[in-house]
């Protein structure tokens, strides 16, 4: 359906999978984009492929080589992943070592490029600002500003046809995201969130702790741990 195509930024994790299923539930014909950018492991990329196959969505896989991304403990193997207690995660002004400089700006720009190329009128992303690790590029103001910039720097924008940046999870807690995923029958059992990689989630990194908190508060077992 013309005007109902969407590009979904897709990591294979909990949030982006729920965002993808949300877009499908809204009637968007979706193309997904995942990134290999030197992270510690490619486990999440395998999840992205499996979920895209399950949902029948075309997946574009992009490899990025940004040497300075290695300043992040999420990418740089010399940096130890932080292990925190939940009350310490996402404190105002406290940006963790897992922050990757400008990552969401780079990813969103790639999504906008694909949308402009294929005529999609929306890019769907899965950030939230309720239960998150304190990254500055997860805030609503960032995406509002980027949408305005895209109106001036894309072919569609030049024609007066804005590409919208849709962030359906941005004000949901992790529990709210879990509940939405269950409601949408998202394949949560295929998702991967752990920063460390491995055969099973470590259960200690920011992402594992926030995910466990979400499922606990939603009153549901995590199907990926079965």
Structure confidence at residue 118 (pLDDT): 95
Residues 6+ apart with CB under 8 A from 75: 37, 38, 39, 40, 69, 100
Q: Which two tokens stand for residue 194?
A: 């752990």
Verdict on whether the full-model pTM lies above 0.85: yes
pLDDT of residue 81: 56
CA 13, 127, 63, 165 torsion-angle sign:
positive
pLDDT at 62: 95
Tokens (6 digits) for 196: 């460390």
Can you give the pLDDT at residue 173? 93
Q: What is the 3-state secondary structure (H, E, C) of 54-92?
A: HHCCEEEEEECCCHHHHHCCCCCCCCCCCCCCHHHCCCC
Say which residue the tokens 């997946």 belong to.
Answer: 59
What's the average pLDDT block by block, 10 residues per block, for the chain (226 residues)? Answer: 81 97 97 87 92 98 79 59 53 64 88 96 92 74 94 93 95 96 98 88 89 96 94
Q: What is the pLDDT of residue 2?
A: 45
- Fold of the CATH domain 5-225: Rossmann fold (3.40.50)
Q: Which residues pair with 123 in a beta bridge?
A: 7, 165
What is the three-state SS of 18-40?
HHHHHHHHCCCEEEEEEEECCCC
pLDDT score for 1: 38
Query: In 84-204, which ranges are E strands?
Result: 122-124, 164-166
């Amino acid at each position: 359906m013309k005007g109902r195509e969407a590009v979904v930024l897709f990591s294979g994790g909990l949030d982006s999978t729920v965002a993808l299923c949300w877009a499908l539930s809204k009637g968007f014909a979706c193309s997904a984009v995942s990134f290999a950018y030197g992270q510690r492991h490619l486990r999440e990329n395998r999840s992205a492929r499996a979920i895209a196959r399950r949902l029948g969505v075309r997946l574009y896989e992009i490899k990025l080589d940004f040497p300075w991304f290695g300043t992040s403990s999420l990418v740089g193997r010399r940096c130890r992943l932080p292990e925190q207690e939940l009350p310490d995660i996402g404190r105002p002004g406290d940006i963790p070592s897992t922050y990757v400089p400008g990552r969401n700006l780079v990813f969103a720009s790639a999504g906008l490029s694909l949308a402009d190329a294929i005529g999609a009128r929306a890019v769907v992303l899965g950030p939230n600002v309720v239960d998150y690790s304190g990254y500055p590029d997860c805030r609503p103001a960032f995406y509002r500003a980027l949408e305005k910039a895209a109106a001036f720097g894309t072919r569609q924008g030049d024609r007066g046809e804005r590409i919208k940046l849709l962030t359906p999870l941005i004000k949901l807690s992790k529990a709210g995201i879990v509940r939405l995923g269950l409601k949408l029958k998202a394949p949560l059992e295929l998702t991967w969130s752990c920063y460390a990689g491995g055969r099973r989630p470590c259960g200690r990194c920011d992402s594992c702790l926030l995910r466990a908190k979400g499922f606990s508060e939603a009153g549901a077992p995590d199907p990926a741990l079965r």
